[in-house]
Amino acid sequence: MAAKWEPKNKNILITGAASGLGAAYAEALLKEGAKNIAVLDIDVKTGENFVSKLNETYNNKAIFIKCDVSKEEDIKNSFNIVLNKFKRIDLLINNAGIMSDTDSMWRLACDVNWQGLVSFTMKAVKHMRKDEGGDGGTIVNISSTAGICKLNFLPIYCGSKGAVLHFSQSLAVCIPLMYNLLHTRSALGKCRYQKKATIDKLLCFLPTSKRRRVSIRMCLS
Ligand SMILES: NC(=O)c1ccc[n+]([C@@H]2O[C@H](COP(=O)([O-])OP(=O)(O)OC[C@H]3O[C@@H](n4cnc5c(N)ncnc54)[C@H](O)[C@@H]3O)[C@@H](O)[C@H]2O)c1
């Protein structure tokens, strides 16, 4: 088992973190000593309420930023706001996701699950790369067992989560080959859907900062 990643003094950005698993990651990481957490979500009311509750317990370490991850402008602006506030991002968790294959929703779901995640990932890689003045960091891209199982009632969701997995694994392989400066590692998690278990796995999957500069990881829940 990998050593537990140490959240102390880390600045963290989590998408889709107003509720669900993203909110659970935020709370768990603050409890473990994270320095600052940016909660990004499309749901302003839930996000603001969640962050003010976090701030009561965790001494104003959380900020909420409205961000629709299907919109490039929102991604760009919120990434810059977080950088301005925190000065650096040590951990990005691309968590926002929609499971809907309906006629009216599938395009949006693909934008959220896949395009938004790619955009945030590439911005974070650029920011973290040591050969471009960055300090390294960790990127966690949330996929799903749907990314490896073939579910005939959710083919589009499966496709988007498969894309997340393949993209993240490809990036994890190509970055050290291309730049030889970022030590990356991909890991397929085996966690089941249980919030506590997922969070424990998430923390355990993360690398010790001394050994790895950038780690692209997939959490399968
Ligand atoms: N819950 C599960 O059983 C499960 C299993 C496998 C994978 N996952 C993945 O884990 C992630 C979180 O799942 P969850 O169950 O907590 O989901 P959830 O629906 O409970 O929460 C998703 C959050 O994302 C936000 N969101 C939705 N659209 C958004 C957008 N356009 N921009 C920004 N934020 C947006 C929502 O407001 C919400 O706060 C997703 O990527 C999901 O695919 C979940």
Residue range 68-104, pLDDT digits in tens:
999 999 999 999 999 999 999 999 999 999 999 999 9
Testing ligand 1's pocket by substitution, the residue of 13, 15, 21 carrying the most ligand atoms inside 8 A of its CB is 21
Q: What would the mean pLDDT of 212-216 be, rounded to a whole number?
A: 40
* Ligand 1 contacts CB of residue 69 (under 6 A): yes
Question: Contact, 160 vs 110, CB < 8 A?
Answer: yes
- Other C-beta atoms within 10 Å of 171: how many? 20
On average, the pLDDT of the chain sits at 82
Say whether 120 sits in a helix, a strand or coil.
Answer: helix
Active-site residue list: 157
CA pair distance 163, 70, nearest whole angstrom? 16
Give the nearest ligand 1 atom to 99 CA. Answer: 43
Burial class (CB in 10 A: 0-12, 13-18, 19+), 200: middle
Total-model pTM: 0.87
pLDDT in tens, 166-195: 898 888 765 543 332 333 333 333 333 344
Question: Contact, 64 vs 39, CB < 8 A?
Answer: yes
Tell me the CA–centroid distance for residue 22 and ligand 1, in Å: 7
What does the pLDDT read at residue 189?
33
Q: Which of 83-92, 140-149, 185-194, 197-206 has the lowest mean pLDDT?
A: 185-194
5 secondary structure, DSSP code: P
What does the pLDDT read at residue 131?
77
* Ligand 1 contacts CB of residue 215 (under 6 A): no
Tell me the CA–centroid distance for residue 213 and ligand 1, in Å: 27
* Ligand 1 contacts CB of residue 42 (under 6 A): yes
For residue 195, give both structure tokens: 């919030």
Give domain limits for the chain.
11-219
Which fold, 11-219?
Answer: Rossmann fold (3.40.50)
CA angle 159, 160, 163 (to 5 degrees): 85
Question: Contact, 50 vs 39, CB < 8 A?
Answer: yes
Which among 146, 118, 140, 158 has a CA at the least distance from the CA of 201? 140
